[in-house]
């Protein structure tokens, strides 16, 4: 947003005082009654708002999906249940994955770019790992999955290590001891986003153990998101990946 140009337009009478106030203070959103849809986000963040479906009624989700699809041609929803899918099933390009609970509408698929790797420790971490993968894919990244590579059998990770050489971003998902991202972070050059999961029992305290492990990782180049936040990791991985691709094109 070019403020100087906008002010000049205003002085010339090409835009109204109301418009200029709205633009300058940036209050561009749609009041849906039950929610304020942040249409301004695409400008600020480069991505439209993503819908956190958990706790929302199917009607509300459908309303939001239609509005966002109209504005952007594509919508991403996370933590969706089957009932949410049923409410938008008839929208063109609607898809739902019950494992990762990702719900999406894509009118026109785009070619995936760059390379994001999602690596996970155990089979129980799959829903979170898959959420990360599908979010990055929806946003436009090419994603490679390496699942069930936990450190109790470290050779499983080492055997695929070569594939990490050209990755732009890595998402490393683990529950229980959460040790995988430290090993990954010690072995690869790409930025690693660690995702603790709530997989475990007893002293895993719902993922707290894995979270603390990752925050204390001795390996440089590792950052962390919330427990079970596959979405956040996939989003961040895509942002880093896409930025590189864009720079390469510039």
Q: Can residue 189 be called a binding residue for a copy of itself (CB under 8 A)?
A: yes
Long-range contacts of 158-164 (CB under 8 A, 24+ apart): 161/187, 161/188, 163/117, 164/117, 164/188, 164/190
Q: Cα-Cα-Cα-Cα dihedral of 131, 62, 113, 182, to 10°?
A: -20
**Of 69 and 195, CB closest to a copy of itself:** 195
Residue 226 interacts with a copy of itself (CB under 8 A)? Answer: yes
- Residue 191 in the binding site for a copy of itself (CB under 8 A): yes
3-state secondary structure 50-97: CEECCCCCHHHHHHHHHHHHHHHCEEEEECCCHHHHHHHCCCCCEEEE
7 binds a copy of itself (CB under 8 A): yes
Which among 65-73, 86-94, 104-112, 182-190 is the span making contact with a copy of itself, rule CB under 8 A? 182-190
Beta carbons of 94 and 51 less than 8 angstroms apart: no
CB contact at 8 A, 49 and 68: yes
Sign of CA dihedral 24, 26, 32, 35: negative
Residues 131-160 that bind a copy of itself (CB under 8 A): 147-156, 158-160
Q: Any idea of the CA torsion for 61, 62, 67, 70, to the nearest 10 degrees?
A: 130
Number of residues lying near a copy of itself (CB under 8 A): 110
Residues 64 to 93 in contact with a copy of itself, rule: CB under 8 A? none
Contact track, a copy of itself, 192-211, x by CB under 8 A: -x--x-xxxxxxxxxxxxxx
* Residue 29 touching a copy of itself (CB under 8 A): yes
Among 105, 119, 172, 214, binds a copy of itself (CB under 8 A): 214
* Residue 44 is a binding residue for a copy of itself (CB under 8 A): yes
Instruction: State in angstroms the smallest separation of the CB of 69 from a copy of itself.
Output: 19
List 20, 71, 91, 144, residue binding a copy of itself (CB under 8 A): 20
Query: Taking Cα atoms as reference points, which of 67, 105, 101 lies closest to residue 83?
Result: 101
* Residue of 4, 90, 108, 111 interacting with a copy of itself (CB under 8 A): 4
Q: Does 183 bind a copy of itself (CB under 8 A)?
A: yes
Decide whether 92 or 247 has the Cβ nearer to a copy of itself.
Answer: 247
DSSP tag of 101: T
98 binds a copy of itself (CB under 8 A): no
Distance CA 69, CA 5 (A): 30
Nearer to a copy of itself, 50 or 90 (CB): 50
């Amino acid at each position: 947003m070019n403020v100087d140009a906008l002010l000049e337009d205003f002085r010339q009478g090409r835009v109204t005082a109301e418009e200029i106030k709205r633009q300058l203070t940036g209050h561009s959103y749609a009041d849906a009654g039950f929610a304020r849809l942040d249409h301004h986000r695409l400008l600020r963040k480069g991505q439209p708002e993503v819908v956190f479906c958990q706790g929302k009624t199917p009607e509300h989700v459908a309303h939001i999906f239609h509005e966002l699809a109209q504005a952007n041609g594509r919508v991403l929803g996370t933590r969706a249940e089957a009932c949410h899918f049923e409410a938008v099933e008839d929208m063109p390009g609607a898809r739902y994955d019950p494992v990762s609970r990702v719900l999406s509408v894509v009118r026109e698929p785009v070619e995936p770019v760059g390379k994001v790797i999602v690596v996970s420790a155990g089979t129980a971490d799959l829903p979170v790992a898959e959420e990360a993968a599908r979010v990055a894919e929806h946003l436009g990244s090419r994603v490679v999955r390496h699942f069930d590579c936990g450190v109790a059998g470290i050779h499983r990770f080492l055997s695929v290590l070569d594939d990490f050489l050209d990755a732009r971003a890595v998402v490393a998902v683990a529950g229980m001891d959460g040790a995988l991202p430290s090993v990954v972070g010690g072995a690869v050059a790409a930025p690693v986003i660690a995702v603790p999961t709530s997989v475990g029992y007893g002293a895993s305290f719902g993922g707290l153990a894995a979270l603390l492990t990752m925050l204390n990782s001795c390996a440089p180049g590792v950052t962390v998101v919330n427990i079970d936040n596959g979405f956040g990791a996939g989003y961040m991985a895509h942002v880093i990946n896409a930025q590189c691709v864009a720079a390469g094109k510039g």
